[in-house]
Amino acid sequence: MAFIKHAAIVLLLAALIGASVAGWIILGGRFDVAVSAQLPQPVHDLIHLTRVNAVRREVRDLDARPIDLDDEAVLLGAVRGFESMCADCHQRPGGDPPALARSLNPAPAKLCEAAEKRSVEELFWVTKHGIRMSAMPAWGTTRDDQELWAIATLVARFPNLTAAEYEQMRAAAMAQ
Ligand code: HEC
């Protein structure tokens, strides 16, 4: 009985200390909200790993619906989609990071590298749903799945595209 009483007192004290610390942080605004502030590398790496695993979990039951990009009209449509919806933040194959990318934290992924590690389902899921607490938008709120599958299929091809090949496709897409 005495043990239970002591345990209850310890738990109560722990809860009071926890609530005081939470109040000190929340009400006192003691949290660095600046985008320019860098997280310690191990914390950044843990958040990144959690995000990668969370997306992998989300796509377990998702059927891949990659789009046939051999049809030139569809391919150029996907390039136009990438240009208008993605290229402000993500670099093109062989290109430089856009200016906006340097102002964001976490930084927009290098899609040529990401496409080597992620499945087309993962690329689609992120494009459609976005990533919480980052600048990655949920394009599914305004665009349909067909358009987003086409862009995800294009991004999946990025590792095989040279800067010159992409530039040629971009010129053709923008000329239309
Ligand atoms: C306003 C900036 C912004 C725009 C526009 C944007 N993204 Fe992103 N994107 C990000 C950021 C920031 C991240 C990194 C998030 C993180 O690390 O948690 C990201 C991550 C991603 C990833 C995850 C890569 C990985 O490592 O798994 C994919 C895929 C992606 N974006 C695709 C797209 C596509 C396709 C478009 C256009 C349809 C797009 N993004 C538009 C900012 C943007």
The pLDDT tens digits of the residues spanning 96-132 come to: 999 999 999 999 999 999 999 999 999 999 999 999 9
Task: Assess contact for 93 and 166: CB atoms under 8 A.
Answer: yes
Query: Are residues 25 and 90 part of one domain?
Result: no
Query: Ligand 1 centre and the CA of 138: distance in Å?
Result: 9
Query: Are residues 46 and 66 part of one domain?
Result: yes
The residue type at 171: A
CATH number at residue 156: 1.10.760.10
pLDDT of 77: 96
Q: Which domain holds residue 25?
A: 1-31
**In this structure, what token pair is assigned to residue 5?**
């009483």
Query: Are residues 102 and 52 part of one domain?
Result: yes
pLDDT of 1: 73
Q: What domain count does the chain have? A: 2
Q: Which residues form ligand 1's pocket by a CB distance below 6 Å?
A: 51, 85-86, 88-90, 104, 106, 108-109, 114, 118, 123, 126-127, 131, 134-137, 139, 151, 155
Residue to mutate, 53, 83, 89, 134, ligand 1, most ligand atoms under 8 Å from C-beta: 89
Instruction: Provide the residue count of the chain.
Output: 176
Number of helices (H) and strands (E) in the chain: give both, helices first: 7, 0
pLDDT band of 87, cuts 50, 70, 90: very high
In Å, how far are 52, 98, 146, 149, 167 from 83, measured between CA atoms? Answer: 25, 12, 17, 15, 11
Is residue 36 in a domain? no
Query: Are residues 11 and 45 part of one domain?
Result: no
Cα 32 from Cα 72, distance rounded (Å)? 48
Query: Are residues 26 and 58 part of one domain?
Result: no
Q: What is the pLDDT of residues 132-162, one digit of tens each?
A: 999 999 999 999 999 999 999 999 999 999 9
